[in-house]
A = this chain, B = another copy of it.
Amino acid sequence: MVDPGIRSIEVERLRGESERASERDDVAVEEPLEIRIAGETLAITMRTPGHDRELVLGFLVAEGVIASMADVLGVTHCGRVGAEARGNTIDVTLVAGVKPPIDPETGLFTRRGTLTTSACGVCGRRSIDDLIERIEPLASTGHRIARSIVAAAVRGLRSRQPIFGQTGGCHAASIVDFRGQVVATYEDVGRHNAVDKAVGSRVQAGELPCSDNLLVVSGRSSFEIVQKAFSAGIPVVASVSAPSSLAIDLAHRANITLAGFVRDEAMTVYTSPERIVS
């Protein structure tokens, strides 16, 4: 079966000083996905097709719309596949009483309490400060993760990225438990989507909140990545790359352990380092 996340195309390969050759190559697919609630557009995200259902469930958790499958009646692709829609529209029916985020003044959807006039899906600094301050930090359970398990989880991500392996251009996110068991790995051209898919798969499995789990991302840890981990109850975020200042601020407030530049046993821990032991 052809992976919907990969497309084979004709390219021109240049090598050395003057060699040129026509060859075939694989690229990661990027397509928009329109997310609707009861027929109304909530968001459109550029994603790699495949696991749209997981993506939408994870996205709705991050947006605070749902907490579990108990809030969801159905998730279905709409439109005729192959015709205009190409499976790029997905509609969610919520259980009666679960409120989609509608702004009472405009009647439009909001995201995290802010009208979505946003390129990135988050609200202004003042709202972010408010959001950070209003956060109820994750509980300090006393549960610990070994440094060697963080190291292995980050190192192992690369071997769980078949689309990246074939295209060299795709992000990935893994959820790994504190004993080192990989519970979910998903790929996407968008870092955020890869995280949404991983979280969404845990929503489907009825495993939210993901306490005693580690989120591993292939790229940098931005504010939004930490926000998604927080919404899913994930207490540790690790990456081979760097976090941003705002990601650190949020992780600090949320009692999330944020580790960056994880290269084997060496790493930089920005917040709550006591959760990583030895």
- A45 within 8 Å of B (CB atoms): yes
* Stretch of A7-15, A92-100, A135-143 contacting B (4+ beta carbons < 8 Å): A7-15
Rounded to whole angstroms, the CA-CA distance of A148 and B115 in the bound complex is 47
Query: Nearest Cβ distance between residue A226 and chain B, in whole angstroms?
Result: 11
Q: Which residues of chain A in 23-46 are interfacial with respect to chain B, using CB atoms and an 8 Å cutoff? A: 25, 27-32, 34, 41-46
Question: How many copies of the shown chain assemble into the complex?
Answer: 2
| Cβ contacts A238-267/B at 8 Å (1 or 0 each) | 000111111110000000000011000111
Which bracket fits the contact residues of A?
Answer: 35 or more
- In the complex, are the beta carbons of A88 and B125 less than 8 A apart? yes
Contact A118 B29, CB 8 Å, known A12-B268, A14-B265, A124-B88:
no
- A65 within 8 Å of B (CB atoms): no
Interface residues of A (CB under 8 A from B): 7, 9, 11-18, 20, 25, 27-32, 34, 41-46, 59, 84-86, 88-89, 106, 108-109, 114-126, 128, 147-148, 167-170, 189-190, 192, 220, 222-224, 241-248, 260-261, 265-270, 273, 276, 278
